[in-house]
A and B are shown apart, each in its own frame.
Chain A
Amino acid sequence: MIETRDVVKRYRTGGETLTALKGIDFAVEPGEFVSIMGPSGSGKTTLLNLLGLLDDPSEGEVLLDGEDVTGISDTERTRSRKRTIGFVFQNFYLIPTLTARENVEIPALFDHDPTVEERAVDLLERMGLGDRLDHKPDELSGGQKQRVAIARSLINEPRLLLADEPTGNLDRATGKQILEEFVDITDRDVAVIAVTHDELVNEYVDRTVELVDGYMGEDVPTDGEHASDSALSASEPGSDGGGPP
């Protein structure tokens, strides 16, 4: 469904070029629940951004349904993102001025689709928030906010859901509920990729991928080169989405 082929991502900061991803081959099938684990600065968020069509790789290809989506225009990229991908963030990122229902409707706001409201209500009911439809985010608990965010990510019926530290700001019990929601979602053939530090996540996923210093799993070199890279990558800004160090 989505696939990366030998993807490299470099950042330029000051005079230095930092390599956040050093040749990643990665693929997810529909209905799969995959977690990407790794320490801070390992390039997890960079990978998630590439998978989410928010950024272009410096080298290699990102294929969505077998089609190369690197280098396409911003408009097309945005359209593909809207059609196929849902996002869930660590900080929920709900719009504080909108009610739960309006927040869920947001991605379809400009579609003038009369069924949106109904779908939003359905999704919120599915998330157990049927009685919180007209509450503003500041009237909701962390777990409720994250469920609103999940409902929002699902409004356009995506086939891929990307979650950046989805349990990062939640207590353990609430985190479990959220992960169960993700499992439910994969039962509907939606692939879920979660970037996380949280070991708890691994109890629910089909597969865990380790990312260390821009290398994936078994590709991690064990020689001296690795150590110097590690120092570089760790200081490199933007390779991580702000998870706890």
Chain B
Amino acid sequence: MIDWLLKRFPALLMARRNIGRTKVRSVLAALGIVIGVIAIASLGMFGLTLRYQITENFDDIANQVTVEPNRDGRQAPTAISEREVRDIRRIAGTSASVVPLQQQRAPVSLDRGPPQNRFMYAVDSPAGVYEASEGTIPENFRSGALVGQQLAMEYDLEPGSSISINGSTTRVRAILAPGGTVGFLPTANVVVVPTTMFQQRTYSQVIVQAEDSQAANETAMALREQLNDRRDRFTVDDNADLADQIGETFQALNLFLLGIGSISLLVAGVSILNVMLMSTVERRQEIGVLRAVGFQKRDVLKIMLSEAVLLGVVGGIVGVVFSMIAGGLINHFMLDDALLAFRPDNFLYVGLAFAFGVGTSLLSGLYPAWKAANERPVDALRS
């Protein structure tokens, strides 16, 4: 295969042999490219991984709208009524899930000791907003309680443990998974109970989960318009803006990281330029002979550029291998899954780094190659 390639592209043969002539120098020049490629690829992947780690949790949020009473509004209600919840359901449409929440303080005892006053959430359909790490969250929540993981650890609770709320004993149905929530609802330290527990008719918050961020955005606009007839009675938050902002921030961060990586490639380019210039000076007579025996300028140009590109390709390939290892490590430590390094976005950065590496070599080779090709053979032979 390589033999065939060298036969087919004789410039490569010459280039390959010339690179072999000054091994240490060539290896060092290629090393510059290796480092440059690793820098660009791994900084790019690092940025992506950081973004992935953060947006993973935000994916749900972007689809979501929260409705709360406007706390600053003078004539605003202090809670959301059943009727308004029905309005919200109607406006959000059937494809969205609407979860009304109640907040309540009540005396709770988690360890059979004296009860403490704790904040609790009351939800009809907790499966819409929470995920369980142990046990299962019932679709139809009529009895029992869900407990945050931190509380569960602190009081040694598990599904089936009994706790007492408001003086009556109830069973823990599930332990909430950390971060497995929608919106900014806290999970770690909460106790979630069915709405039947409080005999309350109003809600403190309604969470609407739309199909995607665009639907969420439209729902939010419709809600603002229809719930708030001219007076700002309710605050409607959708997180589409937030998600956009996060995206933009990370894009800027990634560009910045790539910029830093590019500096190392620039340095590598200068080192290739240096190596190639030295090589053209040392081989001046040889190039003169080639020109004398009938090599055209472009043939000399081809040979010299092949040399630069060969350095770039070899450096690039080694760089890509190391970058994938670096990507695996980054993903292993940040996301606990090294295989996430093989996400297509990462390959984009690796490919970009490789292309930059080869491109830098090509650019750095241009001037020395041009210089070698344009020397008059008489002058070159005389030296």
Contacts and interface: CB of A to CB of B under 8 A. Distances in A.
Contact of A55 (B286, B297, B378): B378
Q: Is the interface of B mostly helix, strand, loop or mixed?
A: helix
A96 B285 contact: no
Interface in B364-383: 376-378, 381-382
B253 interface: no
Contact of A97 (B17, B376, B377): B17
A1 to B, nearest CB: 18
A102 B291 CA distance: 16
Interface stretch (A61-69, A72-80, A171-179): A72-80
B74 interface: no
Interface in A70-124: 74-75, 78-79, 81-83, 86-87, 89, 91, 93, 95-98, 102, 106-107, 109-110
A101 to B, nearest CB: 12
A156 B21 contact: no
Contact of B292 (A81, A98, A241): A81
Contact of A95 (B286, B294, B377, B382): B286
Given A110-B10, A110-B299, A82 B293 contact: yes
B20 A107 contact: no
A208 interface: no
Contacts, number: 68
Contacts of B291: 78
Contact of B293 (A74, A75, A152, A238): A152
Central interface residue in A75, A86, A96, A97, by most chain B CB within 10 Å: A97
A109 B14 contact: yes
Interface residues of B, number: 25
B20 A97 contact: yes
B295 interface: yes
A81 B97 CA distance: 84
Contacts of B297: 74-75, 78
Central interface residue in B10, B292, B299, B382, by most chain A CB within 10 Å: B292
Contacts of B286: 93, 95
A148 B294 CA distance: 17
Contacts of A86: 293
Nearest to A84: B294
B301 to A, nearest CB: 12
A54 interface: yes
Contacts of A78: 291, 294-297
B378 A49 contact: yes
A79 B294 contact: yes
Nearest to B285: A93
A97 B18 contact: yes
A176 B286 CA distance: 26
B21 A97 contact: yes
A31 interface: no
Contacts of B294: 78-79, 81-83, 107, 156
Nearest to A238: B382
A52 interface: yes
A72 B290 CA distance: 20
Interface in B91-146: none
A113 to B, nearest CB: 11
9 contacts: A54-B378, A55-B376, A74-B297, A75-B296, A78-B297, A81-B292, A93-B286, A107-B294, A109-B10
Q: Sort A-B residue pairs by CB-CB distance and give the 4 closest, nearest first.
A: A82-B294, A97-B17, A107-B293, A93-B289
